[in-house]
């Protein structure tokens, strides 16, 4: 059970210090948004490169951008240890996943809430992680969509059926109130933004989330 706090909820003026607050986490989740694929603009390559130099935990880059085939490999080069691109945006997902792995990064495939896993099930051996979005991507602080839970179950089953060691990440509305449902459905990597950064004791909150997830692990 891994916790990947999202810096989308951090203080953007103090990112190095904010990364320090989550030093006990497994990953630092960095949301890259281009204002096209999602209706928000966050940060890009130069910032990810700078963060990779100072982060106490590996960077988990989630690219909510158009044309990831062109841009994603640069994030692996910049030092992101895991790079996730969206199924809906990639023209050649297998080629892209192989390129990311060749760069030494873990390759992740992300699905918006309405995107089914089934068309991508045969691609699972080509990726290291599937990210099932539990909110519509674009903004932090949204409520967890329970309607996505059956898809998390089907994704976990598809991974099992193929005997793969693929991580299943959930992102959106993950908190002490929702993490157990996500873990029970088969998720094992949890992105939490406001739940961690909104807490007075980030490390304590990370430990609590990890513990809650572990008790419902499948």
- Look up 171 and say whether it is catalytic: yes
Cα 151 to Cα 137: distance, rounded to the nearest angstrom: 16
Do 174 and 146 contact (CB within 8 A), yes or no? no
Q: Whose CA is closest to 96, among 70, 131, 58?
A: 70
Q: Which of 60, 128, 171, 188 is catalytic?
A: 171
pLDDT at 141: 85
Which helix (H) or strand (E) segment holds residue 57: the answer is none
Burial bucket for residue 119 (CB in 10 Å: 0-12, 13-18, 19+): exposed
β-strands 59-64, 28-33: how paired?
parallel
Q: For the segment 117-176, what is each residue's pLDDT rounded down to a tens digit?
A: 999 999 999 999 999 999 999 888 899 999 999 999 999 999 999 999 999 999 999 999
Structure token digits, residue 144: 């967890």
Position 82 pLDDT exceeds 90: yes
Alpha helices in 93-197 (DSSP H): 93-102, 149-161, 179-185, 194-197
> Quick one: average pLDDT of 10-25?
97
- pLDDT of 187 over the 90 cut: yes
Helix axes 93-102, 68-77, angle to 10 degrees: 10
Provide mean pLDDT across the span 89-106: 98
Checking if the pLDDT of 41 tops 90, the result is yes
Residue 198 backbone phi and psi in degrees, to 5: -85, -10
pLDDT at residue 190, as a whole number: 98
**Residue in the structure block whose two tokens are 């841009």:** 71
Q: Which pLDDT score is estimated for 140?
A: 83
Domain boundaries, the chain: 2-215
pLDDT, the chain, mean: 97
- Report percent pLDDT > 90 for the chain: 97
In the predicted model, what is the mean pLDDT of residues 28-55? Answer: 97
Q: Is 31 a catalytic residue?
A: yes
CATH fourth-level superfamily of 2-215: Aldolase class I (3.20.20.70)
- Report field, pTM of the whole predicted structure over 0.85: yes
Catalytic residue among 31, 34, 60, 188: 31
């Amino acid at each position: 059970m891994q916790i990947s706090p999202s810096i989308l909820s951090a203080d953007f003026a103090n990112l190095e210090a904010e990364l320090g607050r989550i030093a006990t986490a497994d990953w630092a989740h960095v949301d890259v948004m281009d204002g096209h694929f999602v209706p928000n603009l966050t940060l890009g390559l130069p910032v990810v490169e700078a963060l990779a130099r100072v982060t106490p935990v590996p960077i988990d880059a989630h690219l909510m951008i158009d044309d990831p085939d062109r841009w994603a490999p640069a994030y692996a080069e910049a030092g992101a240890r895991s790079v996730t691109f969206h199924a809906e945006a990639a023209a050649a997902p297998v080629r892209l996943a192989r390129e990311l792995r060749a760069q030494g990064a873990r390759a992740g495939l992300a699905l918006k809430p309405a995107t089914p896993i089934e068309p991508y099930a045969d691609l699972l051996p080509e990726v290291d992680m599937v990210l099932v979005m539990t909110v519509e991507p674009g903004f932090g602080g949204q409520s967890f969509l329970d309607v996505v839970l059956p898809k998390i179950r089907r994704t976990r089953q598809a991974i099992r059926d193929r005997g793969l060691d693929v991580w299943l990440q959930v992102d959106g509305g993950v908190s002490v109130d929702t993490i157990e449902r996500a873990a029970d459905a088969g998720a094992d990597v949890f992105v939490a933004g406001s739940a961690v950064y909104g807490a007075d004791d980030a490390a304590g909150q990370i430990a609590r989330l990890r513990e809650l997830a572990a008790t419902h692990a499948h």
